[in-house]
Amino acid sequence: MASRLSRPIVCSLTVLLSAAFACGAQVPPPGDSRMSAAEAAQLQAAQDASAAYHARIAAELAATGQPRELAFAATLLPLADRVMPEGAIPGGDAPSQPIARDPRVAQWRTLASARAGSDVLANVLLLQGDARVADATRDQALERWRRLEPDNLAPRLYAGDAGDAAGWLPQAGAHARLDMHYYEQLRWIEAALAAHPPHAAERAMFGGADVAQDEAAAIAAAGIIAAAALPGLRTLSEACRADALDAAPTRRADCRHVGRVAAETADTSLGTSIGIGLLEATSTTPAQRAEAQALRRRHDWRMIQWSRAATSQPDDGAAQFARLLRDPAVRSERDLVERVLDEAGIPPDPPAGWEMPRR
């Protein structure tokens, strides 16, 4: 029988990464107001245990000398270098406090960058570092990714504020897809975590047993990616809004092309939403506005129903998520959402007259 981990460790594997606990909307955030003092203390203990666990497996991964493992180890190690303010509630409003950066992070990233070559995933994993920190390895990984996949819009978005959207938008027609390699990353990280499970003593510190190991690894992988550096969209947003759309003769058309590519091909719900937003912002005719509204309505419906279908399950959809992650037919978040809705008997499109609930 597969070993199982407690619900607190599933939370703690991600709470160190981000206060916005993101596991595909399938697990309630650990800062939930229903958390008692005893539960908060249990979660704090689990966080401490997971920090030690992250430090151990980061070293083990880096010891392989392989570019993917080195890049991911450099993502994991800082998780062991964050502490909560004394008396703070895990998952609460008080921010974690970074301590001095371990020099191994830069060393591992440098080695990973030197060895990544044409391995797209290794280069994408190098983008999980903090985009606000000047890091030549990030720029090198982006440049290699752009050369390897010139038709992919994702490297342009990952350039963030360092990328001049107004400068590359005239060449937007070269991009035919938006592929962040989300599920490729997710599956690889899940496998890496599963290959380095907690030792018996670590499991004891995690306290309890109610989540299967594969489920814990899958959920933790999703949390790591959700909290890692996501594409920076400020320059694109500024170039594709209001008066900026008339700043160049082809600007509106270029922005609409980017929106179309993202809305139709993105491998994540985030990318789809970005695309729909650009189609909304660049619409000029009733037909264009109606199309954008219909796309937004369908997207909102699917996101809401996905969350409801997952959280209605006894384990908040953890087992289903882990099972679908093992299915090679699920190539993107769009595929996963459609499968979850289909298994729940929920239509993929909203019924006539449905509107997004407003708070």
pLDDT tens figures, 115-147: 999 999 999 999 987 666 668 999 999 999 999
Cβ-proximal residues to 307 (8 Å cutoff; 6+ apart), any chain:
25, 26
Largest CA distance in the chain: 64
Phi, psi of 225 (to 5 degrees): -65, -40
Domain span at residue 214?
A: 4-27+35-91+100-338
Residue 240 CB partners (closer than 8 Å, separation 6+) = 165, 169, 251, 255, 258, 259, 278, 281, 282
Amino acid letter for position 306: W
Tokens representing 94?
């008080």
Assess if residue 359 is contained within a domain: no
Number of domains in the chain: 1
Residue 249 counted as domain residue: yes
Q: What is the pTM of this model?
A: 0.83
In a domain, 214, yes or no: yes
50 in a structural domain? yes
**pLDDT for the residue numbered 229:** 66
Task: Assess contact for 160 and 131: CB atoms under 8 A.
Answer: yes
Q: Which two tokens stand for residue 264?
A: 């139709």
How far apart CA 17 and CA 8 sit, in angstroms, is 15
Distances in Å between the Cα of 156 and the Cα atoms of 227, 233, 265, 305 are 20, 10, 15, 31
Give the torsion sign (CA, 285, 286, 291, 293). positive
pLDDT lower than 70: segments of the chain = 1-34, 80-100, 130-134, 160-163, 205-211, 229, 359
Sign of torsion, CA 217 223 8 42?
positive
Q: pLDDT per residue over 60-88, tens digit each? A: 999 999 999 999 999 998 876 554 444 44
Answer yes or no: is 83 within a domain: yes
Indicate whether 164 belongs to any domain: yes
Q: Is residue 140 part of a domain?
A: yes
Amino acid sitting at position 250: T
Q: Residue 357 falls within a domain, yes or no?
A: no
